[in-house]
């Protein structure tokens, strides 16, 4: 499929999209049937054949999801890259294709900008590059120049993305109902739907950018600024941020000092958000949203997926961190119930399984705070982290507050970035920040 006709193949109706989901399911089923046949006849190395099966299924899924774009592609990328819930082969395919979504053709881009801003791009900008510099799940980005000489990035949303959220989530829910048990799926899917609706409203994203630029742009971070008079629900114009994405940065073979430097920037950014009274988190912590710059500052882009936590949830998470650091088992138990991770209506064996998992995972998460400097490149930590992701994929109970969804997305994304950087991070500043936030709750501080 060429880039010129890719956009015309964007299936927008519920019937078309359901048909593509069904077609993809048949392909995956055929691949699996062939694998079972090979295994039954003893052909080939079973482990190698299973890896091949996973890769083929991932490629078939991604091929169709790039046509679906929107919610379907975003969910597929999130499941693979942010949580470790799918096999490694899926992550490899998704990472390889992260920036390979077919772009809209030039005529449709012009129409989308005219529909969103009232005029064609050549009448709005001093210069506009018709070729997309990046194309992702919900939209694509073009470089342009304003009349005052500033270089800007113009994000143009694919057609009908907002209209497909409900139908795509309905199909996704059917899949998840086969994988998990519990009565809280409604709350979890409502949380996902709410964030997706916000993410497809570029006026909302412009406000998010404004908030984060005011709070964090400076000596350590570079945040774009929105251009409000060239922004609408479907077109977002913001100042352009230079820098390399993670893969390009790692390809330069940076020394350990450089890796540690940017790892520290990432670590500090998340903790400043958690400790802030605004309780607002940049929740899409994946490699495509950070830029590694020659001047040492970290560029942060894409503020569609932003989560503001209710005060009680944020405060209980701080208390849980403190209880883990203090090994206060009674307080940990109380908070696991307060956060709906443990519930009296769950079978006892399920509660025991959940408690064991969250004790292991919680201990792993607080481990960096127990040391003044933590090495995220240490093989032992990386392996235990991957083991935790695999163990999480075996949990079939839908449990925990829906607010965990985007907290986990941010946290797991951060850990993934830090382990890929092999960064060594000074944690003393983050512990101080968290202690200040705990003091506001009337809690005693924690130490190393």
Neighbours of 133 (CB within 10 A): 14
What integer pLDDT is reported at residue 1 of this predicted model?
37
What integer pLDDT is reported at residue 99 of this predicted model?
47
DSSP class of 159: T
CA distance 226 to 206: 6
What integer pLDDT is reported at residue 23 of this predicted model?
52
What integer pLDDT is reported at residue 85 of this predicted model?
43
Give the burial string for 161-181 (b: 16+ CB within 10 Å, else e): bbebbebbbebbeeeeeeeee
Query: Tokens 């000489």, residue?
Result: 149
Backbone angles phi, psi at 23, to 5 degrees: -60, -45
Neighbours of 327 (CB within 10 A): 10
CA distance 310 to 225: 27
Mark residue 308 as left, alpha or beta (left: phi above 0; alpha: psi -120 to 50; beta: remaining): beta
CA distance 244 to 248: 6
| Closest of 153, 189, 375 to residue 264, by C-alpha | 375
Q: Which two tokens stand for residue 232?
A: 């609408």
CA distance 50 to 366: 35
CA distance 238 to 151: 9
What integer pLDDT is reported at residue 30 of this predicted model?
45
In the chain, domain spans: 3-96, 102-135+138-161+200-241, 243-448
Q: What is the pLDDT of residues 122-177, one digit of tens each?
A: 999 999 999 999 877 788 999 999 999 999 999 999 888 887 777 767 766 665 55
Specify whether the CB–CB gap between 125 and 119 falls below 8 A: no
CA distance 448 to 370: 5
What integer pLDDT is reported at residue 334 of this predicted model?
96
CA distance 263 to 378: 14
| Closest of 277, 436, 448, 429 to residue 366, by C-alpha | 448
Cα 349 to the center of its chain, rounded Å? 32
Neighbours of 356 (CB within 10 A): 11
Q: What is the pLDDT of residues 284-307, one digit of tens each?
A: 888 889 999 999 999 999 999 999
Neighbours of 281 (CB within 10 A): 22
**Residue 99: strand, helix, or coil:** coil
Specify whether the CB–CB gap between 90 and 58 falls below 8 A: yes
What integer pLDDT is reported at residue 173 of this predicted model?
66
Question: Bridge partners of 375?
Answer: 424
Taking only the tens of pLDDT, the chain with its 448 residues reads 333 444 445 555 555 555 555 554 444 444 444 444 454 445 556 666 556 655 665 566 556 555 555 555 565 555 444 444 445 555 555 555 454 566 788 999 999 999 999 999 999 999 999 999 987 778 899 999 999 999 999 999 988 888 777 776 776 666 555 545 555 677 877 888 888 889 999 999 999 999 999 999 999 999 999 999 999 999 999 999 999 999 999 999 999 999 999 999 999 999 999 999 999 999 988 888 999 999 999 999 999 999 999 999 999 999 999 999 999 999 999 999 999 999 888 888 888 989 999 999 999 999 999 999 999 999 899 889 888 877 776 665 667 888 998 898 899 899 999 999 999 999 999 999 999 999 999 999 987 5
CA distance 112 to 234: 8
**CATH hierarchy code of domain 102-135+138-161+200-241:** 3.30.200.20
């Amino acid at each position: 499929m060429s880039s010129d006709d890719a956009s015309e193949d964007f299936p927008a109706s519920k019937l078309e999209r359901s048909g593509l989901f069904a077609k993809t399911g048949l392909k995956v089923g055929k691949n699996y049937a062939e694998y079972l046949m090979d295994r039954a006849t003893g052909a080939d190395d079973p482990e190698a054949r299973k890896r091949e099966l996973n890769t083929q299924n991932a490629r078939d899924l991604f091929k169709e999801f790039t046509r679906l774009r929107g919610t379907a592609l975003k969910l597929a990328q999130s499941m693979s890259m942010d949580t470790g819930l799918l096999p490694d082969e899926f992550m490899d395919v998704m990472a390889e294709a992260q920036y390979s979504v077919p772009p809209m053709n030039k005529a449709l881009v012009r129409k989308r900008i005219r529909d969103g801003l009232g005029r064609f791009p050549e009448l709005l900008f001093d210069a506009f590059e018709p070729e997309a510099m990046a194309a992702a799940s919900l939209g694509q980005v073009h470089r342009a120049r304003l009349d005052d000489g500033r270089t800007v990035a113009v994000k143009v949303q694919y057609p009908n993305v907002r209209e497909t959220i409900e139908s795509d989530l309905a199909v996704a829910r059917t899949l998840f109902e086969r994988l998990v048990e519990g009565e809280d799926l409604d709350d979890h899917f409502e949380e996902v739907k709410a964030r997706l609706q916000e993410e497809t409203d570029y006026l909302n994203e412009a406000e998010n950018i404004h908030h984060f630029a005011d709070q964090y742009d400076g000596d350590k971070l570079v945040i774009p600024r929105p251009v409000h008079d060239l922004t609408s629900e479907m077109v977002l114009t913001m100042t352009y941020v230079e820098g390399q994405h993670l893969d390009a940065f790692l390809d330069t073979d940076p020394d350990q000092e450089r890796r540690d430097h940017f790892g520290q920037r990432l670590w500090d950014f998340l903790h400043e958000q958690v400790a802030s009274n605004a309780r607002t988190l940049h929740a899409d912590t994946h490699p495509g949203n950070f830029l590694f710059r020659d001047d040492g500052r970290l560029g942060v882009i894409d503020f569609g997926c932003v989560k503001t936590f209710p005060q009680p949830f944020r405060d209980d998470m701080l208390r849980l961190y403190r209880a883990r650091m203090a090994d206060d088992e009674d307080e940990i138990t109380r908070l696991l119930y307060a956060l709906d991770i443990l519930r009296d209506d769950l079978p006892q064996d399920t509660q025991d399984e959940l408690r064991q998992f969250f004790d292991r995972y919680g201990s792993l998460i607080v481990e960096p705070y127990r040391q003044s400097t933590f090495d995220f490149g240490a093989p032992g930590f990386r392996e235990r982290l991957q083991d935790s992701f695999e163990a999480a994929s075996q949990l079939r109970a839908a449990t925990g507050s829906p607010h965990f969804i985007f907290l986990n997305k941010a946290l797991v994304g951060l850990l993934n970035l830090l382990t890929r950087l092999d960064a060594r991070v000074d944690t003393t500043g983050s512990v101080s920040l968290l202690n200040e936030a705990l003091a506001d709750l009337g809690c005693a501080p924690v130490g190393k």
